[in-house]
Amino acid sequence: MTHDRISVTENGQEITFDFATLMAYHGGGFPGGVVHGLKAMQAGFAALGTGPLPRRDIHVLTAFSGPGGRDAVECVTRALTDGRYHVDRALGGKDVNSDPPGPYLWRFRLGPNEVEVTIRPGHVLPEFVSLGAMQARSEAQNARLDQLKHEMAKRLLPLRADEIYQVRGL
């Protein structure tokens, strides 16, 4: 598995998605979230089976409510469309730095097997968290937050999923 791709199957056919495809589906506003969705899936799917998983059999429960992660998972699994994608913010902590894992918690289930994927410390900058949590931001703060979203994506995309996320069976 390369660091920017993930494969699933549907109707016996293998389908591979790369980061550029996920970003095109998403529309580009939250590239860091797209990378988090991709890396969480890579980590979780590897723990659920060997080879590409059947996309329409994967169930997702997450504390991550951001549109980038949601769109990445939806593009690959169609879980939102099929009613197999659920967000429960109470699963995670309030903040990735002060109350880990914050929203960076994903549970993937395939049949009777389920894994929980949580972020390893140090991958989300405190400045990103504080700017993202602000209710009202200035234009300069919005511009800085946008820079940090792109910085996160660029920094995390080349890493292996297991360098960013840890997995445990449930």
User: In the predicted model, is pLDDT for residue 2 greater than 80?
Assistant: no
CATH class of residue range 5-169: alpha beta
Going by pLDDT thresholds of 50, 70 and 90, the confidence category of residue 97 is confident
- Neighbouring C-beta atoms of residue 99, cutoff 10 Å: 10
Taking the domains of the chain in order of start, what are their residue ranges? 5-169
Q: What is the pTM of this model?
A: 0.95
User: In the predicted model, is pLDDT for residue 1 greater than 60?
Assistant: no
Tens-place pLDDT, residues 124-138: 999 999 998 889 999
